[in-house]
C-alpha cells in the first residue's frame, strides 16, 4: 500500500456550478488501482466569506444530497476548530473504498452570499493505493458516506421566528439503513460564522424522526447540541427515514441590523 | 461479607525528562546536558511526546530558524538537524491553532509538541542527547529553548521498541526571483537503516523572512488565503504519489499540517520532495516521520 494524494481545482464566478474536471479522469487514482480515501480536504482561496456548496458523487451514487454547505462536510476530530468556511477537512470515520477507475466527482456552487468575487475551489483526496499483495475488502464490508443538509431561512435579529425542516432535507433516501455518526449545526451572522454567542442560546431546537420519536427534546439549546459545531450521534436511520428539525428562534434581543442563518447536516454511512 | 479492600500497585506513573534552558544566539549550536534527559531510574520509560518550549523577548525583532538534532543513546532520531517547525502538532488547545502561529501573532513564547504514534522505550540508564542550532539571520537577541520528553515510567518492559525517525527537506529560500523550484536528494528523506521503516506521515511547514523560527506559512495562508507554493512527492524517485503538483496548504491544511503516509518502505528506500513553484522569500519544509521496529533483548 502506498499513499496517494489527488487534487483538483476550479475557478468559480458568482452563481457558477463547476467541477474541477468534467470528465473526472484526473481525479482517478493515478496508479489505476483500488484505493482507500481517508480524508477529503476542501479549500477556497479567496476573501469570500460566504458558503461554497459541494455536490459529491461516486459514479452515479450520491454521497451528498445535492449541494451541501461545504463547511458542514466533516466529522468531529481533534482539530475541529480549524475548520472554518474556507478550509474544511473531512476525515472519514470509515474510509471509502474505490475500485480501479472509480473516482469521486465533485461539483461546487458559488452562492454569492458572501461576496461576488471569483474564487478558486480546491479539493484534495488523501488516501492509500493498494498494491498486489494488499488484502482487498470483502464485498458488502465497506461503507459509503452520505450527507444531507437543511439550510434554514435567514432572519434579522429583533424578532422571534419558527422554522421547520421538511422530510426531504435530513434524510436517508436509500433502501438500506444509514448509520448516522454525527449531526452538525452552525449559525452564520451575515457572512461570518458565529461561535457560542447569544444567538446560540436563544435558538432552541427540537428534532424528531420518521416515527415521531424524539431525537432532540423540545427546547434544547442550539448551544448545548452544537456548541462546538458537532453533535456526535450513533443511531441507525431506516430506509427512507428522516429527521425533522424544528427551530424556535427567540431573537428579539438580538441586533436587528444583523442577519442570522442556521444550517444543519446529518452525516452517516451505509454499507456498499 | 464485603471483600477486603486492597491496594493495587500502580502500573505506571507519569514522567517527564527535561533539559536545562538552552540559550541560543545567532549562528550558535548548543548541546543539551544529557544528564537531565536520561532515564536515571530502574524502571522502563515509555516516551510518547517530544516537547520544545521556546521563549523570546519579542517575536518582532528576532529572525532565523531553530533546528534540532536528536539521538537516543547511539540511535539517530533525526536525520541531522531538522527544523523545529516540523516537530509539532499544529493544533493547540490553548490557542485553537498552533503555538508557533500564536507566537507569530504576538506571543512571547511557544511550546510545540510532537506526539509519537508509538511510545519510545528508554531503558534504565539510557537517555537522549540533543543539539540545537540557530541560523545567523535575524537579530542578535537571545532566545531560550527547553526540551522535554514526556511519557510514563513502568515496571513492565516492552518486548519491542518503535524508534521514531524524522528527516526533512527545506526549500532554499530565494530572495531574487518571483518563484523558484527545488528537489530533494535521495538521502534527504531516506530510510538509512538496515530494517524496514513504517512511514507514518508527512508534515509540512515553512517560513518567510518576516517571521521567526520557521513560522508556519501554511497557517499564515489562513490570513491571506493565497496559494503560493506547490509540491510533488515521489517514492524512490520514479513513483509519483500525486496526480499533479499540489498547493501546499490545500494538501496539508486544514488538518494538522500533516497527511498520512502509512507505508512500509524497505531499507535504503527514499522519498523525493519536489517544490515545483515557491514564492519569493518562502522556505517550505516537508518532513517524513517514520518508525522502525526493534526487538528488545
Per-10-residue mean pLDDT for chain A, 272 residues long? 94 92 89 95 74 92 95 72 67 94 94 80 94 87 94 94 96 95 87 74 93 89 83 91 96 91 94 87
Q: Which of residues 51-90 of A touch B (CB under 8 A)?
A: 78-79, 81-84, 86-89
The rounded distance, in Å, linking the Cα atoms of B286 and B269 is 17
Q: Which residues fall within 8 angstroms of residue A120, CB to CB, at 6 or more apart?
A: A9, A10, A11, A12, A44, A45, A46, B227
Contacts of B226 in chain A (CB under 8 A): 45
Whether A247 and A159 have beta carbons less than 8 Å apart is answered as: no
Whether B17 and B37 have beta carbons less than 8 Å apart is answered as: yes
Closest-approach residue (CA) in chain A for B91: A79
Query: Cell 541560523 appears where?
Result: B135
CA distances to A38, A161, B295 from B205, in Å: 22, 47, 33
Q: How far is A36 from chain B (nearest CA, A)?
A: 12
**% of chain B residues with pLDDT over 70:** 75
Beta sheet of B197-205, edge-to-edge order: B160-170, B285-295, B197-205, B258-265
User: A183: closest CA among A218, A147, A230?
Assistant: A230
Query: Cell 520544545 appears where?
Result: B52
| ipTM of the prediction | 0.83
Q: How far is A46 from chain B (nearest CA, A)?
A: 6
Q: Which of A43, A117, A123 to mutate to test the interface with B (most CBs of B within 10 A)?
A: A43
- Partner-chain contact B253 A2, CB within 8 Å: no
Closest-approach residue (CA) in chain A for B225: A45
pLDDT digits (tens, 9 = 90+) for B218-277: 444 433 445 678 899 999 988 999 999 988 878 886 656 788 999 999 999 999 999 999
For the entire predicted model, the pTM comes to: 0.87
- Check residue B57 and give its pLDDT: 60
The rounded distance, in Å, linking the Cα atoms of A226 and A211 is 24
CA dihedral A13, A48, B249, B179 (to 10 degrees): 70
Q: Which of B90, B200, B243, B257 to mutate to test the interface with A (most CBs of A within 10 A)?
A: B243
Lowest mean pLDDT among A90-94, A197-201, B135-139, B149-153: B135-139
- Partner-chain contact B243 A9, CB within 8 Å: no
* Cell numbers given for B201: 506521515
User: B203: closest CA among B78, B77, B85, B80?
Assistant: B85
Contacts of A88 in chain B (CB under 8 A): 254
User: Who among A30, A83, A124 is closest to B250 (CB)?
Assistant: A124
Answer whether B240 touches A (CB < 8 Å): yes
pLDDT over 60 (residue B94): no
Whether B50 and B148 have beta carbons less than 8 Å apart is answered as: yes
> If you ran DSSP here, which 8-state letter would residue A153 be given?
P
Q: Which residues fall within 8 angstroms of residue B174, CB to CB, at 6 or more apart?
A: B180, B278, B280, B281
pLDDT over 60 (residue B105): no
H or E segment to which residue A200 belongs: helix A198-201
Give the residue-averaged pLDDT of B19-38. 87
Q: How far is B284 from chain A (nearest CA, A)?
A: 18
Q: How far is A119 from chain B (nearest CA, A)?
A: 11
Angle B111-B54-B126 from CA coordinates, rounded to 5°:
80
Higher pLDDT, B251 or B281: B251
Q: Would you give the distance in Å from CA A227 to the centre of its chain?
A: 17
Amino acid at each position: 500500500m502506498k499513499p496517494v494524494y489527488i487534487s483538483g481545482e476550479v475557478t468559480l464566478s458568482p452563481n457558477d456550478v463547476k467541477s474541477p474536471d468534467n470528465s473526472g479522469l484526473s481525479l482517478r487514482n493515478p496508479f489505476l488501482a483500488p484505493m482507500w480515501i481517508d480524508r477529503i480536504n476542501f479549500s477556497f482561496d479567496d476573501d469570500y466569506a460566504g458558503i461554497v456548496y459541494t455536490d459529491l458523487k461516486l459514479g452515479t451514487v450520491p454521497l451528498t444530497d445535492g449541494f451541501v454547505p461545504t463547511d458542514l462536510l466533516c466529522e468531529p476530530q481533534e482539530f475541529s476548530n480549524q475548520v472554518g468556511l474556507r478550509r474544511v477537512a473531512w476525515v472519514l470515520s470509515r474510509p471509502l473504498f474505490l475500485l480501479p477507475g472509480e473516482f469521486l466527482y465533485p461539483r461546487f456552487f458559488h452562492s454569492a452570499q458572501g461576496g461576488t468575487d471569483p474564487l478558486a475551489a480546491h479539493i484534495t483526496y488523501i488516501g492509500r493505493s493498494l498494491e498486489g499483495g494488499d488484502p482487498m475488502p470483502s464485498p458488502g464490508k465497506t461503507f459509503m458516506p452520505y450527507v444531507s443538509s437543511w439550510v434554514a431561512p435567514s432572519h434579522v435579529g429583533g424578532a422571534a421566528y419558527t422554522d421547520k425542516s421538511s422530510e426531504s432535507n435530513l434524510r436517508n433516501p436509500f433502501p438500506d439503513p444509514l448509520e448516522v455518526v454525527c449531526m452538525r449545526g452552525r449559525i452564520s451572522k451575515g457572512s461570518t460564522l458565529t461561535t457560542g454567542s447569544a444567538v446560540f442560546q436563544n435558538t432552541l431546537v427540537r428534532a424528531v424522526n420518521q416515527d415521531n420519536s424524539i431525537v432532540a427534546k423540545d427546547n434544547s439549546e442550539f448551544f448545548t447540541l452544537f456548541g462546538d459545531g458537532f453533535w456526535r450521534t450513533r443511531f441507525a436511520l431506516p430506509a427512507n427515514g428522516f429527521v425533522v428539525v424544528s427551530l424556535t428562534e427567540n431573537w428579539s434581543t438580538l441586533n436587528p441590523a444583523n442577519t442570522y442563518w442556521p444550517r444543519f447536516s446529518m452525516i452517516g454511512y451505509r454499507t456498499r | 461479607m464485603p471483600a477486603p479492600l486492597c491496594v493495587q500497585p500502580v502500573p505506571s506513573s507519569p514522567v517527564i525528562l527535561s533539559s536545562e534552558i538552552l540559550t541560543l544566539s545567532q549562528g550558535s549550536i548548543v548541546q543539551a546536558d544529557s544528564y537531565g534527559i536520561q532515564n536515571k531510574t530502574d524502571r522502563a520509560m515509555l516516551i510518547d511526546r517530544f516537547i520544545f518550549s521556546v521563549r523570546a523577548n519579542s517575536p518582532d525583532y528576532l529572525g532565523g530558524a531553530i533546528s534540532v538534532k536528536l539521538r537516543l543513546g547511539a540511535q539517530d532520531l533525526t536525520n541531522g538537524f531538522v527544523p523545529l517547525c516540523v516537530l509539532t502538532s499544529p493544533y493547540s488547545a490553548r490557542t485553537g491553532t498552533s503555538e508557533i502561529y500564536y507566537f507569530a501573532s504576538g506571543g512571547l513564547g511557544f511550546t510545540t509538541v510532537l506526539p509519537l504514534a508509538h511510545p519510545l522505550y528508554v531503558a534504565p540508564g539510557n537517555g537522549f542527547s540533543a543539539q540545537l542550532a540557530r541560523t545567523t539571520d535575524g537579530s542578535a537577541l537571545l532566545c531560550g529553548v527547553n526540551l522535554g520528553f514526556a511519557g510514563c515510567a513502568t515496571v513492565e518492559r516492552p518486548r519491542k521498541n518503535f524508534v521514531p525517525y524524522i528527516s526533512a527537506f527545506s526549500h532554499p529560500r530565494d530572495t531574487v526571483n518571483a518563484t523558484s523550484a527545488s528537489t530533494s536528494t535521495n538521502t534527504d528523506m531516506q530510510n538509512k537503516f538496515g530494517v524496514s521503516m513504517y512511514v507514518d506521515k508527512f508534515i509540512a511547514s515553512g517560513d518567510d523572512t518576516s517571521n521567526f523560527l520557521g513560522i508556519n506559512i501554511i497557517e499564515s495562508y489562513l490570513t491571506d488565503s493565497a496559494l503560493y507554493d506547490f509540491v510533488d512527492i515521489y517514492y524512490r524517485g520514479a513513483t509519483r504519489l500525486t496526480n499533479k503538483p499540489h498547493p501546499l496548504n490545500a494538501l496539508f491544511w486544514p488538518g494538522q499540517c500533516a497527511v498520512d503516509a502509512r507505508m512500509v518502505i524497505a531499507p535504503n528506500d527514499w522519498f523525493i520532495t519536489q517544490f515545483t513553484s515557491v514564492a519569493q522569500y518562502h522556505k517550505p519544509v516537508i518532513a517524513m516521520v517514520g518508525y522502525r521496529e526493534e526487538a528488545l533483548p
